[in-house]
Structure 1
């Protein structure tokens, strides 16, 4: 087995930095607390960028690897060179050079070949017998949107799941027979076969000789462990830890499909408001990004969607269309057109278009900013992460590549003095007069300073905004007590602004005093 630096060495390195001062360079997440600021493997640790976009690891993460061997009697010793070589060959299926080339695209070696995704990361290919000259490509349309794949025992077939963006990313299970070069559908799912984990959508099923063991979830059905027969597609629940939650689910989520004025195809999951009188019109909450699997809290898991619907607020989770544009502004425009079209469709049913709220995380937060700056659709908003700002840029400017290339390619942004027109176009801080909606900001500690460019001016203008920051949280909040606080505050926020509802709980009195003051500020704005 392989190890890096041990915890004692890491703790010494952290303490030495604390005592002697932290050297600021491109590896340091500028703007975060510098000493033991985030959780790594359950321990508060000092963090460094690890070279993969803005992801972080701990101090000494780049320390030389050490290899150990445990013998059958449980004795541990340093591994020999021969054992290390065997270890590396086993890890990479006997083809370490190919693994280095393709592992980021899902390289897998089987008993009788090698499978991997193509350079674009989508199409599935295989080298029967491990011979690259015999390369074959998966022949079905379903092979163009592969979520995960695994060799079936015996090495003659590959089991894979494919996403259907026309059904909010629902996954279906297929088998690719390599000898016949033919693909057969095993099961068409209406949800995910990965447990609904948004940040691990490629988590795979375990494949046996005759079954796939999967964590399955649909919009209304929380995750459970299932056995899926590879021949018949028959499903059997093996373990259902969320059975009580499944029984408590409200009305089923409706699959909604539509096209924007530009002709772009959208799909989403719609939860109707509960307890609505036949002729009444309901407020609407929208979250935009990904809607695969169980509809718990939207992308980022911040908004209690079922609780909102149960409280009389209809909910629409919009799944962003497949095929991301090179330019973010094109995706912003298409998102806004899709949101407008969805509101038109639902307004023809029983939605009150004057009471529409929206919550967004990461790219979804960018969509809220763009929508707020370029329309009057929204009556209230909630951001789970900051949007692009000059502070965001300068806090990461020391990273260099690949950050700067990505920023230029995707957002057409350089340093503020290099691309001032583009910063004015997409930066919330440059368009404050166009932002009319009340905004709740619930940010992780590692990111909140990136919002100071627009939060502080909005506060000084006495705009209806409020920010809460959660210590020790990364981009995606994960501590249970924080998730609960975020859920409760978001539920209260949208019920307050969309329904004029005030929870009478005594411990929430201060919250509502603040929000009633914000409402007066909102009413006084010209």
Structure 2
């Protein structure tokens, strides 16, 4: 199964539905990720005290210092839980950049958050950092609560799932004020504050979260989007409950017994005047400030466009194949009524575009195996082809072009999220803000990038992290962590399997990226055609298994991985990969999952809406007699033919029921199996105390089975 997205019940589910609806111009780009259950989803704020009633937080980083030579230490689970972070959990397109650049390019603003596992809460703050000064960042405001991101899937609206809602931060046109969203009582409200931290004002007192906003050009008003209809839908459900709810496609029994509002739920776009606090519906022209795709002269199908001069000269991005379900954007440039030719190798898969001046553009594109590289190019129009300025395997996101430089949020394999500046002439990169300077004193296992092709002709990549004290020729236990090895190698997708902590304790770790979806080879035209092509004969899952088996066998052949001590982990799509691997290979001798597992019972137990969605995707309905189908992807029908494999499941309170058929089956079959359930958690866990427990238990699980002489059982 690709993914499971449970909900919170009652008003919490509506109040937490902060970013379920994105601007229409972003909708096509996120459709594939949403359909496949990528983690642009949600993490829970720890329930409990308000900010005002809490003790001061240990949020701000210390002043940077130079660590003495040889003073590096091993990483701990607490280092990872206490890491300072900002923006969304993954690398998806959220409204607003993770770090907002002021119009003059002199300041960035961001919301910093840091987990406190002892108090089981988050510390947050709104920070401003000068881009051209080594002076430390200034905390100008409280950052509010950390609430769960919502999504629409399976016919439901506002499914609360687990990753933190990243706030939207935007500077006023004159740079004198900062507007930002902040969660108060579970609702994202709009605030405005002076750049120096003065005059913080709560602008909205909405019953439902503000999803996105923009300043109007005069700086006197703000246009914003929210989904009031979610509240109306909840009131209707309350009224219906007086006579009993009819069981239908609105139910998600995995998480509770209350029906959920069906999707789609329309957004409401309004304008609020900052001086008089007047509120009114946005005019059509004002709506274009929030979503410019309908602007007169906007090229057909464009996802981004910029005017180059005073005439019709422009540059824009549009899908290379407009009718395909997923097609990367290509760059187009029109000058003097003619489109300039641009080599496909340079102008395809472009993800962002900026105007440097009337004759120069900058753009960012994906390239390399499975889009694993980021490349920045400059095009001096009329002077030949675009020129490469910089390329890296680090992901860059939320880039903004200022008067002096391009400013982006970045991560590296051994460097947590930080802010960088890139010279638009030379491509040179420098760090503007690092919220975790203490990590310079930590000794990391250095990753080795691996690239290979599977039996289906599909390329993918992974990062191999060896123990810092690894000795060549001495095989060590290997742990596979999934399923996207981009950015800081922290804990895999959903951040539960601590890569560097495993390495520090003597494990080799394969940070594995699943190969591109099998169905993309045939350019599907719609969502369900895409899903059916993946599911037919379990083609996509077999492709992933082929990639996984090839690379693990190569590590055995290199004398790195001990074939008797290979473990696999997985969350969501990664959990499906792990269970499929346990069925179709004998490589893996222990497993740890955070979601589990595919089984015929899920087609009934997760509700009619879920069953309809998966039936359209190629799965048999609950009452279909298809043991041949389930034997390929479900553990339970195969237990008689499989050797026992120790299995650990650490599930959220809203998902553990999905694991019950498989957990019960493996226990009854004599497998060593344990399951832990975390209260208040959904698809992804973020309560700091829970995350610390998950890290440490996953480490202890593999030490128990692969290093029994070194540690006691957990």
TM-score (norm 1): 0.77
Matching residue of 1:361: 571
The correspondence for 1:417, drawn from 609, 612, 624, is 624
Correspondent of 2:559 among 349, 352, 375: 349
Q: Is the contact between residue 161 and residue 174 of structure 1 (CA under 8 Å) also seen in structure 2? A: yes
- 1:89 and 2:288 equivalent? yes
Residue aligning to 1:487: 695
Q: Is the 8 A contact 1:228 1:234 kept in 2?
A: yes
Could you tell me which residue of structure 1 aligns to residue 387 of structure 2?
184
Please say if 1:497 is aligned against 2:709: no
- Structure 1, unaligned runs of 5 or more: 36-45, 52-61, 195-203, 505-511, 516-526
Q: Does 1:216 align with 2:407?
A: no
Does the 8 A contact of 1:175 with 1:185 survive in 2? yes
Query: Is this contact kept in 2: 1:397–1:404, CA < 8 A?
Result: no
- The corresponding residue for 2:597 is 387
What CA distance in whole angstroms lies between the structure 1 residues aligned with 2:575 and 2:486?
18
**Counterparts of 2:297 and 2:658 in 1: how far apart (Å)?**
40
Is the contact made by 1:192 and 1:217 (CA closer than 8 Å) also made in structure 2? Answer: yes
Structure 2 match to 1:294: 488
Q: Deviations over 1:385-438 (max 9, x none)?
A: 223222322245522798246521xxx544450644322322223222244311
Q: Could you tell me which residue of structure 2 aligns to residue 521 of structure 1?
A: none
In the TM superposition, residue 439 of structure 1 has moved relative to its aligned partner by 0.9
> 1:269 is matched with which residue: 443, 460, 463?
463
Q: Which moved more, 1:469-478 or 1:120-129?
A: 120-129
Preserved contact between residue 298 and residue 305 of structure 1 (Cα < 8 Å): yes
Aligned to 1:398: 608
Other-structure match for 2:374: 171
Q: CA RMSD in A?
A: 3.6
> How many residues are treated as equivalent by the alignment?
465
Q: Tell me by how many angstroms 1:309 deviates.
A: 0.5
Quote the offset at 1:489 in angstroms.
0.9
Q: Quick check: 1:216–1:225 contact (8 Å CA) kept in 2?
A: yes
Match of 1:334 in 2: 543
CA contact (8 A) 1:149 1:158 kept: no
Aligned mates of 2:338, 2:247 — CA distance in 1: 50
Would the alpha carbon gap of residues 327 and 84 (structure 1) be closer, same or farther in structure 2, given more than 3 Å must change?
same
Identify which of 253, 265, 275 aligns with 1:73: 275
CA distance in 1, matches of 2:553, 2:226: 57
User: Any idea what SS the aligned residue of 1:280 has?
Assistant: coil
Q: 1:433 and 2:433 equivalent? A: no
Give TM-score scaled by structure 2 length. 0.58
- C-alpha distance 327-344 of structure 1, shift in aligned 2 (>3 A): same
Match of 2:345 among 141, 157, 169: 141
* Structure with greater contact order relative to length (CA < 8 Å, sep ≥ 6): 2
Whether contact under 8 Å (1:165, 1:322) holds in the other structure is: no
Q: 2:423·2:429 contact (CA, 8 Å) conserved in 1?
A: yes
User: Are 1:473 and 2:675 matched, yes or no?
Assistant: no
Corresponding residue for residue 308 of structure 1: 502
Gaps of 5+ in 2: 1-222, 308-313, 520-532
Aligned mates of 2:381, 2:603 — CA distance in 1: 48
CA shift in 2, pair 1:277/1:234, >3 Å:
closer
Question: Are the equivalent residues in 2 in contact too, given 1:303–1:359 (CA < 8 A)?
Answer: yes
Whole-Å Cα distance in 2 between the matches of residues 165 and 392 of structure 1?
38
**Residue 617 of structure 2: aligned partner:** 407
Task: Tell whether the 8 Å contact from 2:270 to 2:280 is kept in structure 1 after alignment.
Answer: yes
Cα offset, 1:315, TM superposition:
0.6
CA distance 1:63–1:117, change in 2 (3 Å): closer
- Once the two structures are superposed, the pairs formed by residues 272-287 of structure 1 within 5 Å of their partners are 272-276=466-470, 280-287=474-481
Query: Structure 1 residue 117: deviation in Å?
Result: 2.8
Contact in 1 for aligned 2:478/2:566 (Cα 8 Å): yes
CA distance in 1, matches of 2:384, 2:289: 27
